[in-house]
Amino acid sequence: MTRERRRECRVAASTKGLQMRVPEDFNEATTLCDFIAYAYRDNRVRCVPMRDLHQLSQRNRVENGASCLANTIRRTNTLHSFHLHSVVEEPEFTDVIQNVTVPAGRSVRLACSVKNLGSYKVAWMHFEQSAILTVHNHVITRNPRVSVTHDKHRTWFLHISDVREEDRGRYMCQINTVTAKTQFGYLHVVVPPSIDDSLSSSDVIVREGANVTLMCRANGSPKPTIKWKRDDNSKISISKGHSVSEWEGEVLDMARISRLDMGAYLCIASNGVPPTVSKRVKVSVDFPPMLWIPHQLVGAPLYYNVTLECFTEAHPTSLNYWTRDDGHMIHESPKYHMENTVGVPPYKTHMKLLIRHIVTEDYGTYKCVAKNPRGESDGTIRLYTSSPPTTTPDPRAVTVPPPSRPPRRDTPVTDKGTKYQSNLNEIDKGKQKSDEGGGKTHLNWVGGASQVTDNAARRRSHPMKLLVVFVSIYINVFI
């Protein structure tokens, strides 16, 4: 076979998608130039005459091509001396690679669909990392989370398990033709927010009146937004006269903080990918103790019990105790009982001192004392003696009993009547005084004991005076 004839044969074959390599010692190539290889299937080459190719159905093409090739091989009897490689159509993609969004920690599958692959191979690459992941059935990367499968060589699947944020990016599916064919799909990895403790504020302690800055940094994809709220839902004091229910931003600045601003603050990070996370930052405001005494003078009768009270505010929590005026500390005993009740907010404390069965020696001055690392404060209460509480009978309840016998007719009535009227006027005057006083006893209870605060005690002898007046009237009328 001449060189020129071989070149003509190759040109004729290439117009139909053939790639032929014909040995120089094969003289029957002229016959093969009249045929075209149709496809590879199960390692068997099938061909049909070129002149009849357009007249045959798909099935007849395969059957006729196989018969044609068999006859040619039988005539030449030199199958071992030539090689025929053919692809009717170049491999191509049949569908685009879908972009996928997946939360971190899940598994994902990217699909690359091809046809007419023949002996070509499909490879997967991570474009941003310039890393070859798989080639055909083989995994090239050392990443154990990556694997590859296929559906009868038509669809090639790239599997990534336990997806991480660094897996984000473009993935390229490539067919290794002479001029490589490629297409891309994008893997978007969403990551729930997480707060970076190393870059965020922890619990803080400041002096009252100082400025405070809290910071909160969070990672995630998309980038999280940060909001600040108080744990008890009270308002955040940004500055004097400026308070808000919540504050948005990584940095929270508060000017001239006070004890009212003490408490827990929540940094809340969210980016639309559940779950939302938060960090609790406790703000402690230190200040020296302050005392408030509701009653600095307390009266109580002998042998009564009395309770003395003090209210304190301090942070850190103060050491609270009671002393006498000589500085002697009072301890728990059958005589004294001390009680400290934490209030709301917790920097408030209610101090109580119960003194049982008061005797003369118990009267005098008492001190409530509060100490903490920021300072010390004390207050005094004076306990004095008072009369025991009493209840005065209502003078209007006194009635005059009827006479036991009628008056004597020979007795002058005018003088007696004058005296009688005079005595009745005295009764009316006493009654009016009682009415003006309301006939009631006003008691001011201080520290658990009662103290008489009006003239009710001075009227305790009034019933006796009424009795004397009544006897006088009775004598004047009936004697």
The stretch 440-451 carries a mean pLDDT of 33
The stretch 218-243 carries a mean pLDDT of 95
- What domains sit in the chain, N to C, each tagged with a CATH number? 92-192 (2.60.40.10), 197-285 (2.60.40.10), 293-385 (2.60.40.10)
pLDDT band (50, 70, 90) for residue 434 = very low
Q: Contact 279/195 with Cβ under 8 angstroms?
A: yes
Q: What is the pLDDT of residue 390?
A: 76
User: Any long-range contacts for 122-126 (C-beta under 8 Å, 24+ apart)?
Assistant: 122/150, 122/156, 122/173, 122/174, 122/175, 123/173, 123/174, 123/176, 124/148, 124/156, 124/158, 124/171, 124/172, 124/173, 124/174, 125/171, 125/172, 125/174, 126/167, 126/169, 126/170, 126/171, 126/172
Residue 97 has pLDDT above 70, yes or no: yes
pLDDT band (50, 70, 90) for residue 421 = very low
Residue 382 has pLDDT above 70, yes or no: yes
Verdict on whether the full-model pTM lies above 0.85:
no
Peptide bond into 401 cis (omega under 30): no
Q: What is the 3-state secondary structure (H, E, C) of 342-374?
A: ECCCCCEEEEEEEECCCCHHHCEEEEEEEEECC
The stretch 207-230 carries a mean pLDDT of 96
Q: What is the pLDDT of residues 262-319, one digit of tens each?
A: 999 999 999 999 999 999 999 999 999 999 999 999 999 999 999 999 999 999 999 9
Q: How far apart are CA 1 and CA 119, in angstroms?
A: 30
List b or e across 271-286, with b for residues whose CB sees 16 or more CB atoms inside 10 angstroms: bebeeebbbebebebb
Q: What is the pLDDT of residue 294?
A: 95
Which two tokens mark 94?
A: 């049949």
Q: Give the count of alpha carbons within 13 A of 40, CB side only.
A: 13
Q: What is the pLDDT of residues 22-65, one digit of tens each?
A: 444 444 433 444 444 433 333 334 444 444 444 444 444 444 44
**Vertex 139 angle, CA 133 and 145, to 5°:** 75
**Vertex 121 angle, CA 118 and 126, to 5°:** 150
- Would you call 94 helix, strand, or coil by DSSP? coil
Residue 409 has pLDDT above 80, yes or no: no
